Structure 1
Amino acid sequence: MVDLKAKPFNLDDKKIKWVEDTIRDMTMDEKIGQLFINLTLRRDEKTLDELVNKYHIGGVRWQGGTLEEVYEQNRFFQEKSKIPVLIAANCEAGGNGAVGEGTFVATGAACGASKTLDTVRDMAKVGAAEAKAVGCNWSFAPVCDVVSNWRNTIVNTRGFGNDPEAVAERSLAYMDEMTKAGIACAAKHFPGDGSEERDQHLVMGCNDLSVEEWDASFGMVYKKLIDVGLPSIMVGHIAQRAYTKKFNPDIKDEDIMPATMSPELLQGLLRGQLGFNGLIVTDATHMAGLTAAADRKNAMQKVVAAGCDMILFFNDPAEDIGYVRAGIEDGTISAERLDDALHRILGLKAHLGLDEMSFPNKDMLAVVGCDEHHALARKAADESITLVKDTQHILPVTPADKKKVVLYFVESAPVSLADGPDPAKALLVKELEKAGFEVRAPKDYYEYEMEGPSKFNRFKMMEHENREEFKKNTDLVLFVISMKGYAKENNTRLTYSVSHSCEIPWFVHEVPTVAVSLNYTNHLFDVPMMKTFINAYSGSAEYIEALVEKLTGKSEFKGEANDLVWCDRWDTRL
């Protein structure tokens, strides 16, 4: 059973009495409801009222909505709920993880490349202030995964890198800033992503490190966080075979479960060996990493029985609650396990002061997207943008010697053509022209389709220019990669918009070429012919502005790449 007087709760007798009295006065429906965190997509009063008064949810996370809509939604939850709710956001890169108008400061990869802890502290500080303004009290971060596999694109940009000591240092700095702001952290994704290349949205993950390897990396990171009072941990749908077998030597491989359903990992490793006394929350339960391991009924029961205290997201509220109730009635979920989970949930709420909760005043919304926060984003961009290599010694480039620039901008396929092109392309053209360059930015296939769908658009993308004319009219090619991927494929790589596309780098031996990634750090694997390569980490205005300043020599490159950028290849270093 949980010790509410110990870390991370540190409750006094008054707060413990609130926890005990609240649990004692709950109905069974209210107790079960506390285990669930709802993903709020609809904000009409009827839907919100049903969530708090029929399903008695214990926590919330949301997607979409304007700043004011999110504020009013969260205010409704807190004012109408009998028991205050935990309100969570994914503040992994700043305030943009809480609300669309929030400030993007830096990804985990940018924080890892920065040589100063100011970058991660500023990112956390901005995220905390903007999230708190809309009533958030829980951040599903830091992403403390140790990225050892360059093919991994799930936490490639979200994690702090491949050095466990640096990951621990930045995770601790992040947690320190959130704690000072009164927001609880949920470090993720235990037992650790980044050692393989698959996406748990699509398949059960497997952390296949040995016990000794895990102890020296993920184990060290989690232990440091736990020792200073980490309040909660998000558990991934990731199996850890070595430790599962250590705690259960007779288990068959076919019976090995993802951590969310593994008593060996939750009770033996996390609670026992690492001494974690806080709250355990599952990763999203619609992910195939969980659904591939069990049917919904068994999954809902086994995550709680194994040791998870809260379940992230309903599928169907009434059905999921019914599954948990059936598990309690048939003993799959013991009375002691339910009681323990409730004490941890209410204990975290008391720790955050929700027993005496007052919702933030609306005037606090002014901090969201404020000038001061965007100044910190500019500072983060300056500190993190990384010159990976320049073996042709071309930088800096200026309009004085390379005025005519052709920009090939290779972007991911938009979810919908109605979304329009990647805004980073127009931002980059604007900054280059402001710097004095003449810029020609050929359309890509998606832009042609946005102007008018046609089966001939793909043929336009296959047309190549006369080489001598191209060389006469071009001083520099800027080849920019803005690829993004999530819950769609297991390994996001550089993808051209059509086969035999004119975007494919035919020009590297015709005119000087500089390549830039605005997201993933592993694109050299697909374009090793690029002799100058920059990881810029974001296509936001601040990062685009800083990129052009560094290209033209007005600012030095300060970021530092780790060895994963070479993708275990010799040719990427040339």
Structure 2
Amino acid sequence: MLGRQLDPEARQWVEATLEGLSLEELCGQVCCVGGGSDDAVVDRLCETWPRVPVGGIFTWHGSLADHRRRIAGLQTSARIPLLVASDLESGPASIVDAPQFPDALAIAAAGNPEWAYAAGECAARFARACGINWTFAPVVDLNLNPDNPITNTRSWGDQPDRVIPLAAAFLHGVQDNGLAACAKHFPGDGTDDVDQHVATSVNRLSLEEWKRLHGRVFAAMIGEGVATIMIGHIAFPAWDPENCTGDVPCPATLSQRITTRLLRQEMGFRGLITSDDMNMGGVAGCLGRPERTLAILEAGCDLLLLAHVPEDFETLLRAVRSGRLKVGRLRASVRRILQLKAALGLHRGASWASEPAAADRARWQEVAEKVARASVHCVRNERGVLPLRRLRSGSRILTVTMSLDDSKLPVVEEELRRRGFQVDHLRNPADCDFFHKARRYDAVFVNLAIKAAWCSMTVRCVGPRNLMFMNSFYREHPAAVFTSFGSPYHLRSLRNLPTYLNVYSDSAPSQRAAVAAWLGEIQFAGGRPPVRL
């Protein structure tokens, strides 16, 4: 029933359930807690549900069996069925053993809406087999600032004409298969260079620009029937210029003008509105916890994401009893929460789906490999180094991973060794004499595995690792190749590189496709990149 009106039976369940809720249950329904992958947290929630009856839980990694066991325990303990949420932005492999799709920007580079639908379908089918019924995807922010540390490869691009059909296809793949989708992060991330996990992000587009860009994308998602929208900790001064904490504009999560007047009233969104994680610095830096908890609801959010219980639950309870938070306001949000649960069939006990068949798993894996092969873009090949068909079995190859975390791109090495090459690997070689090392190898592949990662505050290659560029080994080496498995914008700062590829993802299929393209086994993808480089 997602994206369609509820049938009479479902509407009756919503109203009867709402009428029968105690004040404690009303306050609990708007709390979505974390810890769904932690047995200790799950056990505690099961024990305390009669006293703190939360409405949802967020889960992350685990086996299918573990997800089922934990979620079954939670659903059995809850009098009202739970929303069980997870991030499945480019497929289900982030939370369970499943086919791994490349990142959204790689799917956008491939440009096939049918493949975007397949990624959403795969996510939904595995999620429902686990007992998960809600995903915080698609990310429909636009990559308007190459230095934005949050959107990057999670986004579908920077142009609404290209983003809308692909994000819509993913959305339908999700919701056609019984998983609620969530367009995020309203009113639109990707314009500044701040991570809302750390501090309030500011969308400084004019109102006219916003309507043409982010506003158009979110309006399209609403038109496509997206079940939920996530409000980001993102200020939008063009619409709410006076709501500030000191000289810092307040985020949309604390702005009734943005969340209620713009999204709910002006744009006509009738579904559930969730906050982003209410513990992020972008909102926590504006207000202390009790006031923040109430202000997010008063702004117009229906659900507090990653609420702390019992603290936030007790704050709500005190506020309702004192008259600070009106019962009518709380009931309006709980009605929308119950409507989503009914649209998912949870009132009929539809918490599970069967595990996808082997044939479906194989079909999705094949699509993922097609996406990867269709998204290897050769941006620069000044000296005609690529493809490297002259390499033979036994050739000595050095791979270098440049990353801000512990990424190593192991599939790249596996694929090269499988072809008979001798492979050595270095990670972040902070070495001015790297050019001496490079001379010992027949080919050097420098692989940038840098993309959006929460709290990193950058998608640039920064720090001592850049000492390896001293003496510019790539100008003398006959086979030096640079490939980005993340941010596509590295030539803006590493502008002298003569041979450079964008793959847009560090997924296993993307690593396999990159190796095949280096060696001339597949052709480079044609067409325009999904973002302006």
TM-score band by shorter chain is over 0.9
Say whether residues 1:17 and 2:12 are aligned partners.
Answer: yes
Q: In structure 2, what is the equivalent of residue 139 of structure 1? A: 135
Find 2:315's aligned residue among 296, 320, 323: 323
Alignment partners' CA distance in 1, 2:490 and 2:248: 37
Q: Aligned with 1:241: secondary structure?
A: coil
Q: Which amino acid aligns with 2:414?
A: K
User: Is the contact made by 2:134 and 2:181 (CA closer than 8 Å) also made in structure 1?
Assistant: yes
Q: Which amino acid aligns with 2:503?
A: A
From the superposition, tell whether residues 543 and 62 of structure 1 become closer, same or farther in structure 2 (CA, over 3 Å): same
Q: Aligned with 2:153: secondary structure?
A: coil
Alignment partners' CA distance in 2, 1:257 and 1:442: 44
Deviation, structure 1 residue 406: 2.6
Q: Which amino acid aligns with 1:358?
A: A
User: Is the contact made by 2:102 and 2:507 (CA closer than 8 Å) also made in structure 1?
Assistant: no
User: Is the contact made by 1:66 and 1:101 (CA closer than 8 Å) also made in structure 2?
Assistant: yes
Deviation, structure 1 residue 252: 9.2
Comparing 329-338 and 44-53, the one that deviates more: 44-53
User: Is the contact made by 1:102 and 1:369 (CA closer than 8 Å) also made in structure 2?
Assistant: no
Alignment partners' CA distance in 2, 1:86 and 1:367: 28
Question: With structure 2 as the length reference, what TM-score do the two structures score?
Answer: 0.92
Comparing 210-219 and 387-396, the one that deviates more: 387-396
Q: Aligned with 2:194: secondary structure?
A: coil
Say whether residues 1:174 and 2:141 are aligned partners.
Answer: no
Say whether residues 1:54 and 2:51 are aligned partners.
Answer: yes
Say whether residues 1:431 and 2:411 are aligned partners.
Answer: no
Q: Aligned with 1:515: secondary structure?
A: strand
Say whether residues 1:507 and 2:503 are aligned partners.
Answer: no
Deviation, structure 1 residue 433: 3.1
Find 1:337's aligned residue among 329, 333, 337: 329
Q: Which amino acid aligns with 2:342?
A: A
User: Is the contact made by 1:162 and 1:562 (CA closer than 8 Å) also made in structure 2?
Assistant: no
User: Is the contact made by 2:369 and 2:509 (CA closer than 8 Å) also made in structure 1?
Assistant: yes
Alignment partners' CA distance in 2, 1:500 and 1:274: 46
User: Is the contact made by 1:106 and 1:119 (CA closer than 8 Å) also made in structure 2?
Assistant: no
Deviation, structure 1 residue 219: 0.9
From the superposition, tell whether residues 284 and 500 of structure 1 become closer, same or farther in structure 2 (CA, over 3 Å): closer
Instruction: String of CA shifts for 1:103-133, please: whole Å, max 9, x gaps.
Output: 3202111122112223312211111111111
Could you tell me which runs of 5 or more consecutive residues in structure 2 were left unpaired when the two chains were aligned.
none
Q: In structure 2, what is the equivalent of residue 156 of structure 1? A: 152
Alignment partners' CA distance in 2, 1:561 and 1:387: 11
Deviation, structure 1 residue 80: 2.3
Find 2:272's aligned residue among 269, 276, 279: 279
Q: In structure 2, what is the equivalent of residue 487 of structure 1? A: 454
Deviation, structure 1 residue 151: 0.6
Instruction: String of CA shifts for 1:118-168, please: whole Å, max 9, x gaps.
Output: 331221111111111101111111101111101112110100010012111
From the superposition, tell whether residues 431 and 340 of structure 1 become closer, same or farther in structure 2 (CA, over 3 Å): same
Q: Aligned with 2:105: secondary structure?
A: helix
Say whether residues 1:412 and 2:412 are aligned partners.
Answer: no
Q: Which amino acid aligns with 2:328?
A: E
From the superposition, tell whether residues 433 and 239 of structure 1 become closer, same or farther in structure 2 (CA, over 3 Å): same
Deviation, structure 1 residue 525: 2.5
Q: CA RMSD in A?
A: 2.6
Comparing 24-33 and 533-542, the one that deviates more: 533-542
In the alignment of these two chains, the number of paired residues is: 529
Identity of aligned residues (%): 27
Q: In structure 2, what is the equivalent of residue 69 of structure 1? A: 66
Q: Which amino acid aligns with 2:138?
A: P
Alignment partners' CA distance in 2, 1:558 and 1:333: 55
Q: Which amino acid aligns with 2:273?
A: I
Q: Which amino acid aligns with 1:391?
A: E
Deviation, structure 1 residue 184: 1.1
Say whether residues 1:355 and 2:355 are aligned partners.
Answer: no
User: Is the contact made by 2:59 and 2:86 (CA closer than 8 Å) also made in structure 1?
Assistant: yes
Deviation, structure 1 residue 388: 1.8
From the superposition, tell whether residues 252 and 235 of structure 1 become closer, same or farther in structure 2 (CA, over 3 Å): closer
Say whether residues 1:519 and 2:486 are aligned partners.
Answer: yes
Deviation, structure 1 residue 345: 0.5
Deviation, structure 1 residue 257: 2.2
Comparing 60-69 and 139-148, the one that deviates more: 60-69
1:397-408 → structure 2 map (5 Å cutoff) = 397-400=388-391, 403-408=395-400
Q: In structure 2, what is the equivalent of residue 120 of structure 1? A: 116
Q: Aligned with 1:47: secondary structure?
A: helix
Alignment partners' CA distance in 2, 1:466 and 1:42: 48
Alignment partners' CA distance in 2, 1:335 and 1:240: 29
Q: In structure 1, what is the equivalent of residue 373 of structure 2? A: 382
Q: Aligned with 2:401: secondary structure?
A: strand
Q: In structure 2, what is the equivalent of residue 569 of structure 1? A: none
Question: With structure 1 as the length reference, what TM-score do the two structures score?
Answer: 0.86
Q: Aligned with 1:149: secondary structure?
A: coil
Q: Which amino acid aligns with 2:321?
A: E
Q: In structure 2, what is the equivalent of residue 259 of structure 1? A: 252
